[in-house]
Chain A
Amino acid sequence: MTLIARRLAGHLARGVVMILVVATITFFIVNNIPGDPMAARYEKLIEGGMAPQAASQAVKVLYGFQPDGTLWQQYTEYLGGLFRLDLGVSVSRPGTPVLDVLTEAAKWTVLPVLLGTLLSFLVGIILGVFAAIKRTGKLGDALAISGSLLHGIPQYVLAMLLVVIFATLIPILPAEGTVDILYEPGFNAGYIGSMAEHAVLPVVTYALSAYGGWILAMKSSVVTVLGDDFILASELRGMKRSIVFRYITRNAILPLFTLLALSLGLLLGGAVFIEKIFNYPGLGWLLIGSVQDRDYALMSGAFLLITVATILANIVADLFYTVIDPRVRSGEEAS
């Protein structure tokens, strides 16, 4: 266990450095985008007849600070805020901390993405094994083609296709939103059922668009393992088919965990199109909104969140290997 702890410590240290670098880059890029939302609001207040002194005060109250420090002061203040998990205040929703906006949106992204990805991973790897074993037959061909096809269709096309089919042609599922307004928010059957119903199409879209990648990756991984000497050796030792099958799948699935972790990290931010199409107020939707509204604070907060998620996913994947792959384990001992 000390080994895992040591690895974790190293990863976290590297992760913090990476996050600081990304935060710095985002800060300066956002800072260089033309336009000044605070000045815009200030002028708006003045136009509304407020005295300059009062307008300046109002802006300061709204956003919690006065943007009159030097760039360096702003930068250090921003970084200092990060350590206190303070991402600043949203520009387009004055008075609301960015962190609150993000966590509110995250709950609409994390669960559907997690569900969709795990679903496609599970189905993809199981069918991938069959696609590899039956690769010379019709079943294998059909599976491989299904993978290539779904892998080739862009997410947003798939999403619109599903909307057309299941919300327009056969209207059995809601096309957009997260829940019907009929229901009282809270822990009741109607509300949760409606939420689940609204989540079906986004989840299915995530699952279908990722499925192709999984089945193709698993197929090629299994084919590689099938060619390994120890599989033939196990067969020549008269091992049971079920045991050989386990040997194959366990060895083949290893490299896919990296991909899984990466895709989970990336999907948090990559869900932009799907959330836009389904009008689902998750992180991707928020990101688009923040760009349209020139909400710089929110924008940099969202970027930062995606960065952190990706880095965390990588760390989890790496630690996971330490647990499941004995070669990684002892490789560390040796060094």
Chain B
Amino acid sequence: MVQQAPGVRIDGLTVVYKTPAGELPAVRGIDLTLEPGSITGIVGESGSGKSTLALSLLNAVQPPGRIAAGRVEIDGLGDVVGLAGEQLRKARGRHIGYVFQAAQNSLNPLKTVGKQLLDLGRSHGVEDLRGLVREAKDLLGRMGLDGARVLDSHQHELSGGMRQRVGIMLALVLNAHLVVLDEPTTALDMITQANILKIVREVHAERGLTTLVITHDIGVVAEVADRLAVMYGGRLVEQGPTREVLGAPRHPYTKGLIRAIPRLVGDIDEAQALPGRPPTLATVPKEGCVFRERCALRMDVCDTVDPQAVADGPRTVACHAVTVTVKEHA
């Protein structure tokens, strides 16, 4: 068993969903590496495939979806795409902690948090249940909650921010070192949001985790992530160190996203919405660049050839227009 932060290598991952129009890819040909001990942020609009990607890390894509191709190699576990049954169940929770969106009700409404914690412990063959409870109280305490009280509460007695911390506790209490947070701050107020992000950063550092944060909020990524990956239409269009990508975005979609953020100072009109709307499963182009319909730099080649991710130092970008300039500079 790995006790230190595991690395994750996602290789050529494609996830398809069965629809009346046949199997359509929600995530296509993703290559992404999570370095041990890093916090990676994945940004994208609704429907860009980011949650599907997150679920793939646990081999938990829900029907009618399925992983059609690719590997998800996790240190200490191997390729999770090949895991099934008990092996897969034990990996979930033990090795990989998954934190749900705050707005979702991730707890059984009929049982107290404490009883569900015990269910979790029994599911994973934890013998020292007292120790587990102590660990849980400890984690909750570090997140600023009264552990004993929270364990004695039902879901409906907890606020959104408290539920989210309970979710983080349940993801970590079995000592998982790979943690996936799916929209951890959506539907929380700004102060709670800042609090949760601070907790994520602290816990990440204290426990030596590898963390993946999925969000549609670039601000969240800027706050916590070392590396940033931008998804659009099921494709990874750009990735690199957070500062570099935010400071000097290369892909026209990333540029558009950043331009769309309103600033605290200055005119609200400076923020410019990206024209057009993101593609759905059915409208994602089958060939060529997925972003071309909304792209200002569209060229003929974009209609027919899917741009490949081209590496440039720690950064990669998948765009015909950008690749040309990068090559010209080289």
> Which A residues fall within an 8 A CB radius of B?
228-230, 232-241, 243, 247, 250-251, 254, 324-327, 330
Asked if residues A235 and B60 are in contact (CB atoms below 8 Å), the reply is: yes
Contacts of B91 in A (CB 8 A): 238
Write out, one digit per residue, whether chain B residues 111-123 have a CB within 8 A of any chain A CB (1) or not (0).
1100000011011
Asked if residues A228 and B105 are in contact (CB atoms below 8 Å), the reply is: yes
Instruction: Give complex CA distance A333, B90 in Å.
Output: 40
Contacts of B119 in A (CB 8 A): 239, 243
B68 within 8 A of A: no
* Inter-chain pairs besides A237-B92, A243-B119, 8 sampled, C-beta below 8 Å: A237-B93, A238-B120, A240-B122, A251-B109, A251-B110, A254-B110, A326-B154, A327-B109
B157 within 8 A of A: yes
Contacts of A230 in B (CB 8 A): 105-109
A245 to chain B, nearest CB (A): 12
Instruction: Give complex CA distance A229, B109 in Å.
Output: 11
Interface size band for B: 20 to 34
Contacts of A330 in B (CB 8 A): 154, 156-157
Asked if residues B100 and A229 are in contact (CB atoms below 8 Å), the reply is: yes
Instruction: Give complex CA distance A250, B119 in Å.
Output: 15
Write out, one digit per residue, whether chain B residues 38-58 have a CB within 8 A of any chain A CB (1) or not (0).
000000000000000000001
Residue of A nearest to B60 (CB): A236
Asked if residues A326 and B122 are in contact (CB atoms below 8 Å), the reply is: no
Contacts of B94 in A (CB 8 A): 238
Asked if residues A238 and B100 are in contact (CB atoms below 8 Å), the reply is: no
- Asked whether A326 and B104 contact (CB < 8 A) given A236-B58, A237-B170, the answer is no
- Asked whether A236 and B98 contact (CB < 8 A) given A243-B122, A326-B156, the answer is yes
Contacts of B62 in A (CB 8 A): 232
Instruction: Give complex CA distance A239, B170 in Å.
Output: 11
A179 to chain B, nearest CB (A): 45
Instruction: Give complex CA distance A330, B94 in Å.
Output: 33
Instruction: Give complex CA distance A232, B108 in Å.
Output: 11
Tell which of A237, A240, A324 has the most Cβ of chain B within 10 Å.
Answer: A237
Contacts of B111 in A (CB 8 A): 247
Residue of B nearest to A229 (CB): B104
Contacts of B58 in A (CB 8 A): 236
Within 8 A of A (CB), among B80-112: 89-94, 98, 100, 104-112
B124 within 8 A of A: yes
> Which B residues fall within an 8 A CB radius of A?
58, 60, 62, 89-94, 98, 100, 104-112, 119-120, 122-124, 154, 156-157, 167, 170-171
Residue of B nearest to A329 (CB): B154
Tell which of B106, B108, B122, B167 has the most Cβ of chain A within 10 Å.
Answer: B108
A-B CB contact pairs (8 Å), 10 listed: A232-B60, A233-B104, A236-B60, A236-B93, A240-B89, A240-B122, A243-B119, A247-B108, A327-B156, A330-B157
Asked if residues B89 and A250 are in contact (CB atoms below 8 Å), the reply is: no
Residue of A nearest to B97 (CB): A237
Contacts of B90 in A (CB 8 A): 238
Instruction: Give complex CA distance A237, B112 in Å.
Output: 16
Residue of A nearest to B103 (CB): A229
Which residue in A229, A235, A324 is a CB contact (below 8 Å) of B92? A235
Instruction: Give complex CA distance A326, B94 in Å.
Output: 29
Residue of A nearest to B106 (CB): A233
B307 to chain A, nearest CB (A): 33
Contacts of A228 in B (CB 8 A): 105
Residue of B nearest to A236 (CB): B98
Asked if residues B110 and A326 are in contact (CB atoms below 8 Å), the reply is: yes
Asked if residues A238 and B89 are in contact (CB atoms below 8 Å), the reply is: yes
Asked if residues A238 and B105 are in contact (CB atoms below 8 Å), the reply is: no
B180 to chain A, nearest CB (A): 9
B40 to chain A, nearest CB (A): 19
Instruction: Give complex CA distance A325, B155 in Å.
Output: 12
Contacts of B157 in A (CB 8 A): 330
Contacts of B60 in A (CB 8 A): 232, 235-236
Instruction: Give complex CA distance A240, B94 in Å.
Output: 13
Contacts of A233 in B (CB 8 A): 98, 100, 104, 106-107, 167
Instruction: Give complex CA distance A234, B119 in Å.
Output: 10
